[in-house]
Amino acid sequence: MHSWRPSLRSKPNLAIYTVNRTFSQSSRLHKLASAERQLAGKHCIITGASRGIGAEIARRFAREGARCLLIGRNESLLGKVREELEKVGEGEHRVLVGDVGDGEFWGLLKKEKHVDVLVNAAGITHYSPLFITSPSLLEEVVTTNLMGTMMACRTVGKNMMAANRGCIINVASLLGLKGGKGSVAYAASKSGVIGLTRALASELGEKNVRVNVMVPGYVETDMTEAMTPEARSEALNSIPLKRFGQAAEIADAAIFLATNQYANNCVLNLDGGLSAT
Ligand SMILES: NC(=O)c1ccc[n+]([C@@H]2O[C@H](COP(=O)([O-])OP(=O)(O)OC[C@H]3O[C@@H](n4cnc5c(N)ncnc54)[C@H](OP(=O)(O)O)[C@@H]3O)[C@@H](O)[C@H]2O)c1
């Protein structure tokens, strides 16, 4: 494993886009009444917001009145998610294109001084035994999942500390707690995310910054879509609820962690009971 080198990767295509919202009559009808919105006026940063769990958390946060900064590498997908948010929420949403594993990328976030909630959902996986996995892939998985989360916490958490408020929600995986063939780098990176969450919860608690981690089992997204039919069937058989979770169910848990003011160092299983088996 190489040491952390900020300029290891090629420079990402960086740009922040803001679009003024436009309200249609029908979208107004679907908005929650102001009094019911749990994140009204909150500024939230969500990594991995172009697809899957991160995108669903962004949709849910926007419905609850949050203003979101969406981070990912795919500008076009991020743009589509932002357009959806403009329809359901009342906040102004932005897009930041970049690679969370690039140390230089996080320099851009230093100016985000008033962040209420940071969600680290960006992640990649791999399915291959350690001895035939290339060192560069091992490094990419750890750099994206672990260093990406740590750098996000370091940059945004520093501003939260200064503001004396904030909440960080990391997304780990059951594979960070439990074995799984072909997932060595992924499991190592997600164990690291759980470990860093615990350490940071004790560091930042006295600054009124809460740090929590969600530990999903299998969730229906592009990530699990890539599983072979055999692997999917084996996984389904071992889950007590006999189904994969939905991204919306993970987003519900993110709302809980974002709003419950006593939630600090929660390690929240969302695995349909898989960790019990
Ligand atoms: N699905 C599951 O069963 C499951 C289970 C446990 C944990 N998780 C975790 O949940 C999180 C979300 O997973 P998902 O299922 O939603 O996966 P997904 O559908 O594959 O989405 C992954 C997201 O991460 C972003 N991303 C990946 N690498 C990035 C990088 N270097 N820089 C910036 N963004 C990056 C992707 O955006 P771009 O491609 O646009 O960059 C995408 O938005 C991940 O951390 C994953 O490990 C998922």
Atom of ligand 1 nearest to the CA of 144: 31
Name the residue at shortest CA distance from atom 35 of ligand 1.
Answer: 122
pLDDT beyond 90 at 148: yes
DSSP E strand stretches across the chain: 16-18, 43-47, 67-72, 94-97, 117-120, 166-171, 209-216, 267-270
**218 an active-site residue?**
no
Look at residue 9 and tell me if it is in a domain: no
Counting residues of the chain whose pLDDT is more than 70, the rounded percentage is 87
Domain residue limits at 115: 37-272
Indicate which residue of 17, 127, 186, 262 is catalytic: 186
Look at residue 203 and tell me if it is in a domain: yes
Show the ligand 1 pocket: residues with CB < 6 angstroms: 47-54, 72-74, 77, 99-101, 121-125, 144, 171, 173, 216, 218-219, 221-224
Look at residue 30 and tell me if it is in a domain: no
Of the pLDDT bands very low, low, confident and very high (cuts 50, 70, 90), residue 14 is very low
Name the residue at shortest CA distance from atom 43 of ligand 1.
Answer: 48
Model pLDDT, residue 28: 46
Worst-scoring range by mean pLDDT, 41-50, 82-91, 129-138? 82-91
Of the pLDDT bands very low, low, confident and very high (cuts 50, 70, 90), residue 27 is very low
With CA atoms as reference, report the closest residue to 148 among 130, 170, 133, 116: 170
Q: How many CB atoms lie within 10 A of CB 131?
A: 6
Model pLDDT, residue 36: 81
CA distance 215 to 190: 9
Atom of ligand 1 nearest to the CA of 223: 20
Look at residue 22 and tell me if it is in a domain: no
Name the residue at shortest CA distance from atom 36 of ligand 1.
Answer: 48
Q: Over the chain, what is the mean pLDDT?
A: 89
Mean pLDDT (whole number) for 106-130: 95
CA distance 185 to 86: 37
Name the residue at shortest CA distance from atom 8 of ligand 1.
Answer: 173
Give the Å distance between the CA of 23 and the centre of ligand 1.
30
Atom of ligand 1 nearest to the CA of 56: 16
Look at residue 3 and tell me if it is in a domain: no
Residue with tokens 């408020």: 165
Domain count, the chain: 1
For 31-48, the pLDDT digits (tens) are 556 668 999 999 999 999
Give the Å distance between the CA of 217 and the centre of ligand 1.
14
Look at residue 92 and tell me if it is in a domain: yes
Of the pLDDT bands very low, low, confident and very high (cuts 50, 70, 90), residue 25 is very low
Q: How many CB atoms lie within 10 A of CB 24?
A: 9
Give the Å distance between the CA of 29 and the centre of ligand 1.
32
Backbone dihedral angles phi then psi of residue 151, each to the nearest 5 degrees: -65, -35
Dmax (CA) for the chain in angstroms is: 58
What element of type H or E holds 141?
A: helix 135-142
Mean pLDDT (whole number) for 62-89: 95
Find out whether 68 and 61 touch, Cβ atoms under 8 Å. Answer: yes
* CATH at 154: 3.40.50.720
Model pLDDT, residue 88: 87
Look at residue 133 and tell me if it is in a domain: yes
pLDDT beyond 80 at 1: no
Atom of ligand 1 nearest to the CA of 174: 6
Model pLDDT, residue 90: 74
Mean pLDDT (whole number) for 147-160: 98
Mean pLDDT (whole number) for 102-122: 95
CA distance 78 to 97: 8
Buried b (16+ CB within 10 A) or exposed e, 201-240: beebeeeebbbbbbbbbbbbbebbeebeeeeeeebeeebe
Look at residue 100 and tell me if it is in a domain: yes
